[in-house]
Amino acid sequence: MPDASAPLDLLLLPTWLVPVEPAGVVLKDHGLGIRDGRIALIAPRATALKHAAKEVRELPDMLLSPGLINAHGHAAMTLFRGLADDLPLMTWLEQHIWPAEARWVDEAFVRDGTELAIAEQLKGGITCFSDMYFFPEVASEVIHASGIRAQISVPVLDFPIPGARDADEALRKGLHLFDDLRQHPRLSVAFGPHAPYTVSDDKLENIRMLAEELDAGIHMHVHETAFEVQQSLAQWGERPLTRLARLGLLGPRFQAVHMTQISDDDLALLIESNSSVIHCPQSNLKLACGFCPVEWLWQAGVNVAIGTDGAASNNSLDLLNETRTAALLAKATAGSATALDAHRALRLATLNGARALGLEAHTGSLEVGKMADLLAFDLSGLGLQPVYDPVSQLIYAGSREAIKHVWVGGKQLLDNRQLTRLDEERLLATARQWGERIAAR
């Protein structure tokens, strides 16, 4: 047990502190103390200053909140950003993205693309993300070195993919990675069957068995388009979610990404199984996939988190902007201005994401004992005045450029907009080199 009488490693004194849990609370003129990478103190400023601290840092006009959690993405696809825009999903995948992946994706591509994605995410206040892409063992090395927190979802498809000749090889490598990272303080491993239409029943049953045995998450694109549902009805005589339920995949570990097509029966399955839904509004809008009914799900008690999807279909990894889109879209689809208010939108991007990834005991809210995964957002700007509700300003008026500081496990990874572990100039040069190579072919 940590020594509660020992000095704090760092005491932060923001103007506003938003813990997310309890819900809807904004604490003004409070301090947050960090010791051994965890939150050790939350108290009024005068009380906090009575505690010995190795470093005291004033954060005037700043909002301190949990770090954002990007619950779905394909990190290395930053190198395909803008490659094939304004196309329907299956045309985009089959005629452009899959051929490009076959041509370009190797270990170097994944290493460079993942590092670029991590840098972009840290500068946008993201302290944890879920990655579902090829060569996951390479991505894990980059993530480990960067200091960020992540869930690595091992991709499984019925056909050969970069780094695995078939689903069996992908699973074998995934199990090896799971064993390697079992005790890692920041990385966890989940199974990532791509989608119901790319993974057969026998492979899905194998994944279910392994996930149960290892208590691992299952991260999967589900009900992304109406065509996917129609195709499943024609092939299997049942909707994709019904098929997954029949195979035993649904449950608290299951992370259903997209879910733009939800019937009453689908909702009942989500509620009964306690599965999570990962909402990716901007990718769904750009690919004209449909609308996830977030308010309906929320009111029914379904845990809804948020993700950016990959930069090839978004085209940014800006979770703050994504969250604003989610809030506005929820109001339009529900026909109610009260749907997904600003405080609930922030919860979508923090604690709900942690719950979806099985990390709610460690991150997602500012509570004593949790890991110190934090962002400091500067509310002093001209376009953010006056400040009546700082959370409303963050969600409806804020930009990721106003995120000044980011800590993960108490370690500062962004200091006054400067990355502390990653070389931004080198990343820019590398990305441009990849762009020139890919564009030339």
Query: Model confidence over 317-326: pLDDT tens digits?
Result: 999 999 999 9
Across 178-191, average pLDDT: 97
Task: Select from 3.30.300.30, 1.10.357.10, 3.40.50.1360, 2.30.40.10 the CATH code of 10-66+372-409.
Answer: 2.30.40.10
Quickly name the fold that domain 72-356 has: TIM Barrel (3.20.20)
Q: What angle do CA 163, 151, 217 make, to 5 degrees?
A: 95
Instruction: Grade residue 308 by pLDDT with cuts at 50, 70 and 90.
Output: very high
Using CA atoms, how far apart are residues 416 and 129, in angstroms rounded to an integer? 22
pLDDT (0 to 100) of residue 3 = 67
Instruction: Grade residue 441 by pLDDT with cuts at 50, 70 and 90.
Output: confident
pLDDT (0 to 100) of residue 99 = 93
Q: How many residues are there in the chain?
A: 441
Burial 179-207 (b: 16+ CB within 10 A, else e): eebeeeebbbbbbbbbbbbbbeeebbebb
Across 113-136, average pLDDT: 98
pLDDT of 1 over the 70 cut: no
HSE-up of residue 183 (Cα within 13 Å, Cβ side): 0
Q: Are 59 and 406 in contact (CB under 8 A)?
A: no
**DSSP-H helix ranges across 17-146:** 45-48, 89-92, 98-104, 107-123, 136-146
For the chain, domain boundaries: 10-66+372-409, 72-356
pLDDT of 64 over the 70 cut: yes
pLDDT of 2 over the 70 cut: no
The closest of 266, 345, 247, 243 to 304, measured between CA atoms, is: 345
- Topology agreement, domain 10-66+372-409 and domain 72-356: no
Token pair for 40 = 């050790």
pLDDT of 355 over the 70 cut: yes
Using CA atoms, how far apart are residues 431 and 413, in angstroms rounded to an integer? 21
Q: Which residue has the tokens 């978004």?
A: 314
Instruction: Grade residue 72 by pLDDT with cuts at 50, 70 and 90.
Output: very high
pLDDT (0 to 100) of residue 31 = 98
